[in-house]
């Protein structure tokens, strides 16, 4: 089992984009297992709702909730500073914040690539760099990057989204290589279609997509391995295949 802070200080997980979908399910899983959390999201009202839920369901757990638009580097840095001001050590970082915009490389709107790179890649890059000083001195920690099956194969109307997710997988591979001798594990998550708000209103059978908690369970299982083992890449798809 991974090493935690100590018997007197609960372990800490930092999760970006954590008020809905995969991020929320992962946050719930870590809270259920005794973690304090730092989360961020673009919508302040969603964070307030999450804080109210946490106070009722996890009254003994700390939840640091920071409004932040991770397309803006200044907001990434502000979120990281809030974490550093609260804790001197973190155990888990989940770079979950991301956005999808459909389109084709040859005719998608100007600025699409830049925007998706800022949200899907740069946010993870800058947040990781800002928070690694809370892991490296302790020679422990686990970083999860929310990639996608779009990190492996281009698909119709995937355009710059797929480019950004390919890049995030590359970032994960580079980080894994750099940190493997420092006791810090790096896992790239590559899920297929999973139920979330982005699928709201779509008429599909419930079993056609995965559940967000499926991914949360896998994250917890990967984290819970001994320090001598790491899941480098985790690919998971709906049983019936990609949409």
The pTM is what? Answer: 0.93
d(CA 12, CA 16): 13
Q: What per-residue confidence (pLDDT) applies to 193?
A: 81
Instruction: Convert the pLDDT of each residue in 93-135 to its tens digit.
Output: 999 999 988 899 999 999 999 999 999 999 999 999 999 999 9
Q: Which residue has the tokens 């809905």?
A: 20
pLDDT of residue 1: 57
Three-state DSSP at 118 gives helix
pLDDT tops 60 at residue 218: yes
pLDDT category, 203, cuts 50, 70, 90? low
Q: How many residues in the chain?
A: 243
Q: Give me the mean pLDDT over the 79-104 stretch.
A: 96
pLDDT in tens, 142-180: 999 999 998 999 988 899 999 999 999 999 999 999 999
Q: How far is CA 214 from the centre of its chain?
A: 14
CA distances from 134 to 12, 117, 234 (A): 11, 25, 25
State mean pLDDT over 198-208: 66
Distance CA 236, CA 243 (A): 13
**Burial profile 45-65: b = 16 or more Cβ within 10 angstroms, e = fewer:** ebbeebeeebeeebeebebbb
- Residue listed under structure tokens 């019936």: 240
Structure tokens that stand for 160 in this block:
């710059």
Q: What percent of the chain has pLDDT over 70?
A: 92
pLDDT of residue 96: 96
pLDDT tens per residue across span 62-79 = 999 999 999 999 999 999
Question: Whose CA is closest to 148, among 132, 130, 161?
Answer: 161
Q: Which residue ranges make up each domain of the chain?
A: 12-236
Per the CB < 8 A criterion, the answer to whether 79 and 66 are in contact is yes
pLDDT at 202 over 60: yes
**The pair of three-digit structure tokens given for residue 156, joined into one six-digit string:** 């119709």
Whether the pLDDT of residue 23 is over 70: the answer is yes
Mean pLDDT of all residues belonging to the chain: 92
The pLDDT value given to residue 8? 65
CATH homologous superfamily for 12-236? NAD(P)-binding Rossmann-like Domain (3.40.50.720)
């Amino acid at each position: 089992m991974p090493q935690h802070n100590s018997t007197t200080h609960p372990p800490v997980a930092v999760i970006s984009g954590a008020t809905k979908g995969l991020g929320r399910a992962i946050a719930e899983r870590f809270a259920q297992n005794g973690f304090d959390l730092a989360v961020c999201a673009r919508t302040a009202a969603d964070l307030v709702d999450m804080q109210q839920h946490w106070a009722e369901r996890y009254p003994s757990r700390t939840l640091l909730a920071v409004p932040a638009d991770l397309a803006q580097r200044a907001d990434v840095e502000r979120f990281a500073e809030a974490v550093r001001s609260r804790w001197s050590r973190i155990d888990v970082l989940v770079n979950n914040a991301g956005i999808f915009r459909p389109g084709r490389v040859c005719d998608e709107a100007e600025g699409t690539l830049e925007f998706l790179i800022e949200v899907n890649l740069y946010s993870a890059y800058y947040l990781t760099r800002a928070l690694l000083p809370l892991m490296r001195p302790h020679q422990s920690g686990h970083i999860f990057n929310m990639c996608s099956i779009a990190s492996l194969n281009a698909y119709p109307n995937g355009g710059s989204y797929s480019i950004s997710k390919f890049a995030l997988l590359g970032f994960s591979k580079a980080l894994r290589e750099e940190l493997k001798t420092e006791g810090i594990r790096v896992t790239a998550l590559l899920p297929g279609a999973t139920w979330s708000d982005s699928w709201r209103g779509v008429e599909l059978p419930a079993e056609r997509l995965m559940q967000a908690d499926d991914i949360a369970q896998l994250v917890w299982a990967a984290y819970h391995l001994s320090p001598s083992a790491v899941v480098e890449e985790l690919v998971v798809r709906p049983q019936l295949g990609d949409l």
